[in-house]
Amino acid sequence: MKRRIKLIWDFRGPAAQKTASHHEKHLKEYITLEEIELNITGHQDINDMHSLAFMVVEEEQMLKFRDALKPHRAEVYDK
């Protein structure tokens, strides 16, 4: 199995939850427009003032998506 990377965008402040949810919609649109096979996205609330949106990509494509989408950070996706 190929290694997958989770690209993460952090949002902070009172509107973080709504912003992360909205950002995920844009990630899904990007996946559709670019015809990306792997379609794993989501958003997660860390607390009332911190939420994140994420998109999972194949490791060999990570640099391409990192440069195009400018995530705040990334980690190995192990699910």
Handedness of CA 60, 35, 69, 16 (dihedral sign): negative
pLDDT score of 34 more than 80? yes
| Sheet of strand 4-12, all strands in order from the earlier edge strand to the far edge | 40-47, 50-58, 4-12, 73-77
Q: Give the tens place of pLDDT for each residue, 37-76.
A: 999 999 999 999 999 999 999 999 999 999 999 999 999 9
pLDDT (0 to 100) of residue 33: 96
